[in-house]
Structure 1
Amino acid sequence: MAPTHLTRLDRLRLWTERLQGVPASFIDIPGPRSVGRVHRGQRMLAGEFMFLGYTVEAPETPIWDLPIPEPAFVDLLHGFGWLDDLAATGAGEGPAQRWLDDWIARFGQQDGPAWRSDTLGRRVMRWIDHAEMLMGGDQPRDRTARVFLRLQARQLARSWRRVRPGPRRFEALAGLLLATVTLEGLAPSRGAALAALEVEIASAVTPEGGIPSRNPEALARVFAQLARIKADLLQAEVTPPDALEDALKRMAGVLRTLRHADGTLARFHGGGRGAPGLLDQALSMSGVRPTPLSDRAMGYARLSHARTTLILDAAPPTTGPMSPQAHASTLGFELTSGRRPLIVNCGSGRTFGDRWRRAGRATPSHSTLALDGLSSARLGEGDLIVEAPGDVRLERRRSDLSTGLIAGHDGYVASHGLTHVRQIYLSHDGRGLQGEDVIATVEREDERAFDRALDETGGGIPFSVRFHLHPDVAARIAEDGQSFELMLKSGELWILRHTGSAALSLVPSVYLDVGQLEPTPTSQIVLRATAMDYATRISWTLAKARQTPDAVRDIVHGDYPVLA
């Protein structure tokens, strides 16, 4: 049986309001504040619908008749976020009105996922944002649309408490608060909604300004919702709560720390790079003045010199109920040079099926060290992480030549007696990175555990240090056979070298991006070795070639770099 989102009393009230036919009366129409993508809107007009990494080709097909690849697709459709893309084209008014009218005819009088309160909040917000395009005329259909906007806003005022605390409740409250400052008759609901917003902020946002999931993109979405609420309140000359202002200041600092030099977010714990322009717009709406960048936020450590940024996961993943998207990525890092990502993590595979989703969460899908066949954190039979490093430590070192991180975790102590320690130093000119990965026993009990593991294998403990490359990076082994040349689209040439007995290889990898239809093929550099003693180390460097200038004229090209 399908879940019920409307009670019997809800249905009675909606039926009565439809019969009364009172249209929404606007106090003010703020206009859209969200960012639409022109190319997606144009493809939508051509019958190609791009949502959640899927592309559905269905020319001449109403949006409500599209095949549904997964439940989240339904939520996205009924939230009407696609209106932003249609509006961005400047030619989407006709289809937008037809699909809205079709929604009213099909879903306006029946229960279903469209009436879940967080989805309702998103839809109310988009209908108000695009009211001029959707219902700005004097035709009967415009009046009908305004009637349904009013009754949905009133239903949202009654039902928002049913949404579980967390990001979805923020969505419901954001839609309701917008309605209270733009539609007549909703103002009495504002006080309760603002009080609930303060409670949600205290629950969902840490004192530092992060969120428990440690997902940077999810943090950006919550921040954007809160910034939008503040902007809507200020436009209506309503003073935002102090708790909202304070949360935005804390969150803005964290988000700026988690941005690479190219403006994108670090891709950890189920998060992607972020929608283009979303974070910049949200930071602008928030009115929060930039502050000096922190070197640590939400469990991540940052190194940044010149045009090079490195962001390292320096904390354990979330475990238990909050961990369905958490990754075993402790001590993994990403590195960006200017506008070009170089070292990445594979990313979240949640839109590519269960196999890719679970694979993307494993330690080998991140740029760090992993024992063969074992992640630093373990998934249970479901989606939750049931075992993770309990002791993760971080120190920062500074010298006249570089800034460094020394971090370690005990994710392999229970199974093999081994602690992973990673040292990374970034030169002040941003041209060179020195790294060392060590797996070693620390206590006598660790030595006994290591000895038992050696006895079981009979030939040492194999492990690998991986460097996943962005798909735009062209890689080849150098003439010395002991290093790799990495060419960026900007023309920069980087060289990765290592010392020690590890075997160096270039093998296939994937780049998992929710915005793509399929996993994108790429490469990874792998250093393979075997631990035979109580301490084993691999040293490596990643540096710009001497002929590469400190700054290059970086123009976007459609072709890939070529290593001649």
Structure 2
Amino acid sequence: MAIVGNFGSLFRLFADVAGRQLVSPLRTGRLARLRALRPVSTPPALLFSPARLMAGDPGRARAYYSGEWQLAGHTIAVGADGPFARADVPDAWQRQLERFVWLADFQAANSDLAAAQARFLVEDYLARPLFATRNGRNVGIAAERVLQWLMSAPLLFRGAESRFASQLGRGFVRHARWLRRAVAPAPEPLDRLRGRAALLALALCLSDGRKRLDRAQKTFLAELDSQLLADGGHASRDPSALPVILDDLLLLRQAYGHLGRAPPKPINEAIERLFVLLRFFDMGEGRLARFNGGGWVNPDWVQALLAEDATAGQPAGLAAASHYLRLAAGDCVLLADVGGPPRLAFSGHAHAGALSFEMSAEGDPLVVNCGAARDPASTVFGLSRVSAAHSTLTIGDRSSVQFARAGGLLEWAGRPLIGPLNVSIEREGPHRAIMTHDGYTAPFGVIHERSLILAPDGRSLAGIDRLTSTGRRPGLQIDAPVTLRFHLHPAVEAWPSRDGSLILATNGGRRWRFVVDGHHAELTDSLYLGRTGDPLATRQIEIALSEVTAPLAVEWGFVYEN
């Protein structure tokens, strides 16, 4: 697991990141901005506006009218000069503002007042220096903004003067000019994919787009192929990337249909695979499992996307390319991480969660991982990535994989995970699996094995965690404490029973009992990164073992109680 063993991969990552860093100032800096802002002699007309799949909230639009702007968990009072005039606001709030996702709320209000207010805000933004704001060089935000304007066009044009069409057309052209230069050096892979999607959408929806369509389509398909796995997963192994990509692809499919053209075969195939995998990660009622940097995703959005799936096929038990396991029975669903780190270029936000799992019953979350912080600069971002923040076994204070350290150069790459970490899985029927990983072989000489057995009626989960020596010498002393953790969702109430077991009550009122054979389990404090990415207090089940000798086996279980 040493960095030396990954020198070739790290060198290629360094070269890629350094190349983007060298090129970025040339393609996104002052000169690039001036090129993008040069005059637009004939603004293009908008030929098609894709339909929005996820409706907004008219109640939030009414709050915006009154000057209360709640974005990314922060509420900011906005005066008559508008939200873009505010400078002293949190970064997360500013990013959400510049994405223009809140236009969906005005669109849901569907009134002349909403149209006038939304149009005023777009005009106000276009009148300011483009690409010079706090997030001016963020490709993902610029791409989102373009797509939001396209979907909101029917509302924006409602009651508008003719000059507004020219204003918006110029805005589209200038964003396209900037994105064509800025996408390639963008540091985040998903931002690059979304930037290519926005350029293809503009080529499909604008009157002057035909001349750029072939190139926009070619570059988008190449980016899609480089980032999408064979089973529909994203190369980062982050489930929260799936609805973002699927939404963009469905938008593009609409635009191709308006032109009377079938989308390219890779787009249709990607849509089919994404539907299957999105359903795979659905823990119930649209709540996605959270692994490898996956933050909170609106369940209503997930359900709206799945409603577009005409086949509604049932997910398989194993996502082989993405390396996740799904066990489902009755109303119980369990998702487990059975893979190593993603490719280095995609692992800047990945987590050390090998063999961790999440579990829900009747749509109510029970066992979770701690989630992911949205802001890489936050103090909990790094903490959320370590193995101890996941429902799995740890030895000492080590994670199952390493976080690469090499000064500032790797900080550009987001502290990627490095291996090798060999993970294997053996399925024994639809409700049982045995998984292993070698993340603790180099430092401690052991293999971690986890067996999971879900009852056919979904009323119990039995587990065994084993540590076995990789050498021939029996009775290997492990020179560090061993800890099993099962993080509980904040909505779960937990308390100890007189017999030493633990009682857990879900948000829906169902009770489960946690038992462990021959060891003591206690409830300790934990954190959960919820909807806004800010930490919430919660509890965890902890089995702490000291003076451990391999082989070791810890048997535990969750049992439903009426």
- Is TM > 0.5 for Structure 1 vs Structure 2? yes
Alignment of 1:169-188 (within 5 A): 169-188=192-211
Paired AA for residue 88 in structure 1: A
Aligned equivalent of 1:369 = 393
Aligned equivalent of 1:562 = none
- Could you tell me whether the CA contact under 8 Å between 2:432 and 2:454 is conserved in 1? yes
- Could you tell me whether the CA contact under 8 Å between 1:81 and 1:123 is conserved in 2? yes
What is the Cα deviation at residue 229 of structure 1?
1.1
What is the Cα deviation at residue 303 of structure 1?
0.3
Structure of higher RCO (CA pairs closer than 8 Å, 6+ residues apart): 2
Aligned equivalent of 2:549 = 533
Once residues 346 and 475 of structure 1 are traced to their aligned partners in structure 2, the CA distance between those partners, rounded to angstroms, is 17
- Could you tell me whether the CA contact under 8 Å between 2:180 and 2:199 is conserved in 1? no
- Could you tell me whether the CA contact under 8 Å between 1:68 and 1:74 is conserved in 2? no
Paired AA for residue 558 in structure 2: L
- Could you tell me whether the CA contact under 8 Å between 1:432 and 1:542 is conserved in 2? yes
- Could you tell me whether the CA contact under 8 Å between 2:341 and 2:417 is conserved in 1? no
SS of corresponding position for 2:38: helix
- Could you tell me whether the CA contact under 8 Å between 2:28 and 2:182 is conserved in 1? no
> 1:86 pairs with 97, 103, 106, which one?
106
Aligned equivalent of 1:409 = 437
- Could you tell me whether the CA contact under 8 Å between 1:471 and 1:521 is conserved in 2? yes
> 2:512 pairs with 480, 494, 497, which one?
494
- The CA deviation string for residues 474-526 of structure 1, in whole angstroms up to 9 with x for no partner, is 1111122x1111112222111111111x222111111102426x411111111
Alignment of 1:342-361 (within 5 A): 342-351=366-375, 354-361=378-385
- Could you tell me whether the CA contact under 8 Å between 1:120 and 1:156 is conserved in 2? no
Is 1:217 matched up with 2:240?
yes
Alignment of 1:545-560 (within 5 A): 545=561, 548=562
Summarize the Cα distance change of 1:326–1:249 in structure 2 as closer, same or farther, 3 Å threshold: same
Once residues 180 and 386 of structure 2 are traced to their aligned partners in structure 1, the CA distance between those partners, rounded to angstroms, is 42
SS of corresponding position for 1:251: helix
Once residues 179 and 493 of structure 2 are traced to their aligned partners in structure 1, the CA distance between those partners, rounded to angstroms, is 54
Alignment of 1:477-492 (within 5 A): 477-480=496-499, 482-492=500-510
- Could you tell me whether the CA contact under 8 Å between 1:56 and 1:66 is conserved in 2? no
Paired AA for residue 202 in structure 2: A
Paired AA for residue 457 in structure 2: D
Once residues 545 and 138 of structure 2 are traced to their aligned partners in structure 1, the CA distance between those partners, rounded to angstroms, is 52
Summarize the Cα distance change of 1:85–1:276 in structure 2 as closer, same or farther, 3 Å threshold: farther
What is the Cα deviation at residue 429 of structure 1?
0.5
% identical aligned pairs? 25
SS of corresponding position for 1:444: coil
What is the Cα deviation at residue 31 of structure 1?
4.2
Summarize the Cα distance change of 1:55–1:375 in structure 2 as closer, same or farther, 3 Å threshold: farther
- The CA deviation string for residues 128-187 of structure 1, in whole angstroms up to 9 with x for no partner, is 221232234352652453343453365268547645483223322332333333321222
Summarize the Cα distance change of 1:303–1:348 in structure 2 as closer, same or farther, 3 Å threshold: same
Once residues 403 and 466 of structure 1 are traced to their aligned partners in structure 2, the CA distance between those partners, rounded to angstroms, is 22
Aligned equivalent of 1:235 = 258
Aligned equivalent of 1:422 = 450
What is the Cα deviation at residue 428 of structure 1?
0.4
Is 1:441 matched up with 2:469?
yes
What is the Cα deviation at residue 326 of structure 1?
0.8
Paired AA for residue 484 in structure 2: V
Q: Number of residues paired by the alignment? A: 526
Paired AA for residue 479 in structure 1: R
Aligned equivalent of 2:71 = 51
- Could you tell me whether the CA contact under 8 Å between 1:156 and 1:176 is conserved in 2? no
Paired AA for residue 401 in structure 2: A
- The CA deviation string for residues 256-308 of structure 1, in whole angstroms up to 9 with x for no partner, is 212112321110011024223323333444x5623332111111101000100
Is 1:511 matched up with 2:525?
no
Mark the runs of 5 or more structure 2 residues left unpaired by the alignment. Answer: 1-23, 406-410
> 1:391 pairs with 409, 414, 422, which one?
422
Alignment of 1:273-352 (within 5 A): 273-285=296-308, 287=309, 289-297=311-319, 298-318=322-342, 320-351=344-375
- Could you tell me whether the CA contact under 8 Å between 2:285 and 2:299 is conserved in 1? no
Once residues 176 and 74 of structure 1 are traced to their aligned partners in structure 2, the CA distance between those partners, rounded to angstroms, is 23
Summarize the Cα distance change of 1:535–1:526 in structure 2 as closer, same or farther, 3 Å threshold: same
SS of corresponding position for 2:371: coil
- Could you tell me whether the CA contact under 8 Å between 1:441 and 1:535 is conserved in 2? yes
Summarize the Cα distance change of 1:6–1:133 in structure 2 as closer, same or farther, 3 Å threshold: farther
Paired AA for residue 530 in structure 1: S
Summarize the Cα distance change of 1:158–1:348 in structure 2 as closer, same or farther, 3 Å threshold: closer
- Could you tell me whether the CA contact under 8 Å between 2:296 and 2:531 is conserved in 1? no
Summarize the Cα distance change of 1:483–1:150 in structure 2 as closer, same or farther, 3 Å threshold: closer
SS of corresponding position for 2:353: coil
Is 1:32 matched up with 2:63?
no
Aligned equivalent of 1:262 = 285
Summarize the Cα distance change of 1:81–1:462 in structure 2 as closer, same or farther, 3 Å threshold: same
What is the Cα deviation at residue 255 of structure 1?
1.9
> 1:520 pairs with 529, 536, 539, which one?
536
Summarize the Cα distance change of 1:231–1:532 in structure 2 as closer, same or farther, 3 Å threshold: same
- Could you tell me whether the CA contact under 8 Å between 1:377 and 1:388 is conserved in 2? yes
SS of corresponding position for 1:293: coil
SS of corresponding position for 1:497: strand
Aligned equivalent of 1:127 = 149
- Could you tell me whether the CA contact under 8 Å between 1:346 and 1:511 is conserved in 2? yes
- Could you tell me whether the CA contact under 8 Å between 1:209 and 1:254 is conserved in 2? yes
Name which of structure 1's ranges 488-497 and 109-118 shifts more when overlaid on structure 2.
109-118
Mark the runs of 5 or more structure 1 residues left unpaired by the alignment. Answer: 455-460, 549-564
SS of corresponding position for 1:125: helix
- Could you tell me whether the CA contact under 8 Å between 2:522 and 2:543 is conserved in 1? yes
Once residues 394 and 201 of structure 1 are traced to their aligned partners in structure 2, the CA distance between those partners, rounded to angstroms, is 28
Once residues 55 and 110 of structure 1 are traced to their aligned partners in structure 2, the CA distance between those partners, rounded to angstroms, is 24
- The CA deviation string for residues 79-133 of structure 1, in whole angstroms up to 9 with x for no partner, is 3222123323345334322221211221249698546655443323222221232
Once residues 325 and 506 of structure 1 are traced to their aligned partners in structure 2, the CA distance between those partners, rounded to angstroms, is 29
- Could you tell me whether the CA contact under 8 Å between 1:307 and 1:338 is conserved in 2? yes
What is the Cα deviation at residue 417 of structure 1?
1.2
Alignment of 1:462-481 (within 5 A): 462-480=481-499
Summarize the Cα distance change of 1:24–1:416 in structure 2 as closer, same or farther, 3 Å threshold: same
Is 1:190 matched up with 2:213?
yes
